């Protein structure tokens, strides 16, 4: 039996299948994507369908995704957790760099608070560790923001198991985000550490940026369930580990509904084993 919810930080219950907002921006997560009314409709439908974790970032757009979240959902319903990220600066659709200087992290966090119309960000994630700034300084800046009540919990994005272990020696971390899906399990050691420590793992590209829809094993099992390959790939994540909380993104209502319907798919042990087996 799979768990439908996860207790983030041991106190904030969220449904494990969330919604990611990157696809609400244009190609390369840069500029607008079509009519903003479509994005607003998708966000509202996600909440209507029971999503309680919205995952966004200040550099999706930049700023566009956060602004759309506030436009669509503020005032936020009780129990809805808005997670965002900071620490990455975008200068074009293909150029970005990490900036973990404490003063910049503070500026980014305070700008996100304004755009999201929040007094406190429940989950603020360091989008990338800046190799030019000591980890202790970057996490120390987030600790200061947490002490001031501007953020409630800290998460990390794109880290190794060793980096997470080092971070845990400096502060509390309640979530990580790494690329992880049926065909890319290079972050398996990180997932094992998250399981041992009760840390949420929010896999990005949970559908392999679309590549999983062509996986023959997914297609075979999907046919048996009357489902789509993408739904099987998401269902596998929910079966794989109770700490995996995938937030698939989309800009269309039809794809949103398809993704969220994956929560109802129940895979047998044999199907999970077949999906988990290495591809030749």
Is 180 an active-site residue?
no
Nearest in space to 183 (alpha carbons), one of 151, 208, 214, 163 = 208
Q: What is the CATH number of the domain that holds 272?
A: 3.20.20.100
What's residue 211's pLDDT? Answer: 76
pLDDT band at 206 (very low <50, low <70, confident <90, very high): very high
Taking a C-beta distance cutoff of 8 angstroms, is the pair 47, 78 a contact?
no
Burial 189-219 (b: 16+ CB within 10 A, else e): ebbebbeeeebbbbbbbbbbeeebbebebbe
What's residue 233's pLDDT? Answer: 96
Q: How many domains does the chain have?
A: 1
> pLDDT digits over 250-279, tens only?
999 999 999 999 999 999 999 999 999 987
Q: What is the mean pLDDT of residues 207-228?
A: 89
> pLDDT digits over 65-99, tens only?
999 999 999 999 999 999 999 999 999 999 999 99
Model confidence at 126: pLDDT above 70: yes
What's residue 106's pLDDT? Answer: 98
Helix (H, G, I), strand (E, B) or coil at 157: strand
> pLDDT digits over 4-46, tens only?
999 999 999 999 999 999 999 999 999 999 999 999 999 999 9
What's residue 224's pLDDT? Answer: 97
Cα–Cα distance for residue pair 6/200, rounded to 1 Å: 8
Given 19, 29, 60, 124, which residue is catalytic?
60
pTM, full prediction = 0.96
What's residue 280's pLDDT? Answer: 63
Query: 182 lies in which domain range?
Result: 5-276
């Amino acid at each position: 039996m799979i768990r439908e919810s996860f207790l983030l930080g041991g106190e904030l219950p969220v449904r494990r299948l969330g919604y990611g907002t990157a696809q609400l921006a244009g190609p390369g997560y840069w500029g607008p994507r079509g009519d903003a009314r479509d994005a607003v409709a998708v966000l509202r439908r996600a909440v209507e369908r029971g999503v309680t974790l919205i995952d966004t970032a200040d550099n999706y757009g930049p700023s566009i995704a956060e602004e759309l979240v506030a436009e669509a959902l503020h005032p936020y319903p009780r129990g809805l957790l808005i997670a965002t990220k900071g620490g990455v600066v975008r200068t074009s659709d293909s150029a970005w760099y990490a900036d973990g200087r404490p003063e910049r992290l503070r500026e980014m966090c305070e700008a996100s608070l304004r755009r999201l119309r929040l007094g406190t960000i429940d989950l603020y994630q360091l989008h990338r560790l800046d190799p030019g700034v000591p980890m202790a300084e970057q996490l120390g800046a987030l600790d200061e923001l947490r002490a001031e009540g501007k953020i409630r919990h800290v998460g990390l994005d794109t880290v190794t198991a060793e980096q997470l272990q080092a971070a845990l020696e400096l502060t509390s971390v309640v979530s990580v985000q790494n690329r992880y899906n049926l065909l890319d399990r290079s972050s398996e050691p990180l997932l094992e550490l998250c399981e041992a420590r009760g840390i949420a793992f929010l896999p990005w590209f949970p559908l392999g940026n679309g590549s999983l829809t062509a996986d023959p094993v997914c297609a075979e099992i999907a046919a048996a369930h009357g489902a789509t390959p993408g739904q099987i790939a998401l269902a596998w994540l929910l079966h794989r580990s109770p700490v995996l909380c995938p937030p698939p993104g989309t800009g269309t209502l039809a794809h949103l509904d398809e993704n969220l319907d994956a929560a109802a798919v129940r895979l047998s042990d044999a199907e999970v084993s077949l999906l988990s087996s290495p591809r030749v």
